[in-house]
Structure 1
C-alpha cells in the first residue's frame, strides 16, 4: 500500500482573505489505478491533525495510515475499484504549503502566513484534481474536518462531485467548539518557546502544543468510553501520590497523547487550521439559509453521525440532512451506535463499513 511521496507545484492560489499564495505546493498520496475515462477517482479528506497518509505508513511515526481499515483492496473504499487520492490540507505541515513552509526571503512563513479557510483548502484540492487531469470525482469522503471539506466540495463544485460522504461532521463550527479551540490556541501562545511563531530552527513550543492536543483529545472521546477504558484506576501504583504526578491512568494517557503529537505536528499549523475550522459556516454566504448552499446540486449525499459524539452531535448532521431535503438533493442518513464518541469514525465499525461501501458502489 505504500506509495512514493508526491508533491505538486500548482501555481498561485487566491484566498478568501484577499491574500494570494504565489507558489502553492500540495503533498498527496494515491492508491489504486485511474480508469482510462478517469471516472473512478475518490478524494479522501482528512481531519484536523490528519495527513495524506490515509492508507500508507506515516514517515515520522512509522504507524499505519490513519484510515487503512477503510481504504485498500476489498475495503469499503476499495482500491481495486477506485483511484483514491488524499492530500495534505493547506496550512498543514506534511508537505503542503503552510506556516512552516519557506516563504518570501527564504525563511519559514511563521505567523506571516495568511489566515486560511476551509474553502481555501478545498480550492487547493481542486487545483490538485485539475493537475491530475480529473474533471469529475466519483466521490469525496471524509470525517470531522474532512466531512466539512466534503460539504464544501459539494457546495463549491457541485458539477464535479458525483457522491459525497460526510461522517461525524457539521455545516458550521459551534460556539462550544470554537471555545475548545481557543483554549488550545492560548496554550500554544502562552508557551515561552512560541516566540511569536518564529521558533523554527530553535526550541518548538511543545509544552503548549501538547496541552492543546490533550484538551482537544478529550472532545474526541465519550464519557462512557473513558469510563470503560480507564475509570478511576491508578497508574502503576497502589495508592495516591498526594502530588501532581499522573496518578490516574486517564492522566497518563492524555499526557502520552499530547507528547507524541508534538513529534509529528507543527504548532503554527495547529493555530491556522483550528482558526479555519472556527470560521467555517456554509450558510453564512447564503443569508443563513443552509439549503441555498446546495440548491440545484446533482450530488448524491450520505450523512453519518454517531450517538455518543458530543463534538459534532447528531443534531448537526440532521441540520445538514434537512437542508439537503429542502434543496431536493438525494440524501441518505444514519445515526450509528458506538461507545467511542467522535473518534468512532476512525475505529472499527461494521455498520459504517457496510453503508459507505454500499453507497459508493451504488453510485458507480
Structure 2
C-alpha cells in the first residue's frame, strides 16, 4: 500500500524531544464516556497516563507541551473539581512535571513556554508554579471563551492563577502555512517545530509536529486529545491491520496473535469496516470536526517517518525511553513499530469470544 502524502516544508533544523511521564494515571474511566461503539469485554478504558513533552530548541529555548494533572486536583475551578468528584474516577498523581524536571537538573525558570494542547483538566497542570517569565500558549478562541478565568469568571474551567502575571499567547492560524493537511505555525521560524490546528475535541485544540532528525527527516506528532485510544485512529484506509503481528517483550503481554482476520471479523460484528478505526470519538465539542481531524492525522500516522503519540497513549509504557532520555532516535530504535498495534491487546476478551 502506497504511503499517503504528508508534506512538511524542508528544513535542516531539529529540536530535541523528551517524553515526560507526568505520573498522572487515570483509571475506572468508562469507555462509553469517550468512545463508541461499545467493545465487548471492555467496560473501561485502560489505565491512562498523561504525557508531557519537553521540546528543546538549539537556541536554548525550552517548551513544555501539556502538563498532566496537578497533585491536588481538588484545587481546580469548581466547575471542574465538582464533576471529577461526582464521576468517581481513580486519579493518581505522584509528582508534577515541574518536580520531575527539577529532579534532573532543569529549573522552572529555564522553561520559556507552556503549550496547552487544550484546556481540559488532565492537561493543565499548575502553571502558577512556573515563574512569570514562562509564557502560556493556547489555541484560537481560548481568550474569548475563558478569560478572565475562575474566580472572576465563576463558570470558567481554568483559573486566573494559571496565567496571572505571565504572557498568555493565543495562536492565530489566519496566516498559517500548511503542514500535511493541517494549518500550522512555524513556532521557532526555522522548520524545527510546528503547532497544528487540530479542531473538534475542544475549543482551540492544538497538536504539534517536531522534526527529530534530518537526512532522513523524522517527526514526532504530538496529538493531544485528537484521539483517546489508538483504536480511534487505527486501522485506517492507509494502514490496515497487519496480517501478522509480531511484538516482543512487554508489548506482547495479553496480545492475541490472530492477525487481521479475527480483528476484521470483530469490526464487522460492530458494524465497522476493515479500514475504519475501531472507535469514533464519543465526546467533544464537534464530533464531525473531530472525525475530520482524525482523518487528516491518519495520513501522518501511516507514514513510517512520523511517530504519532496522543496524550494518553499507554502503549509507550515499558517500551520507550522517557525523560531525561531523548526520543529523537525513535525510528532507529523501532519504537513506532513496537507500540503501533499494542492496543489490540485491549480487545482480548472480544477476540476470545469470537473464537469460541
With the shorter chain as reference, the TM-score category is under 0.3
Between Structure 1 and Structure 2, the one with more helix by share is: 1
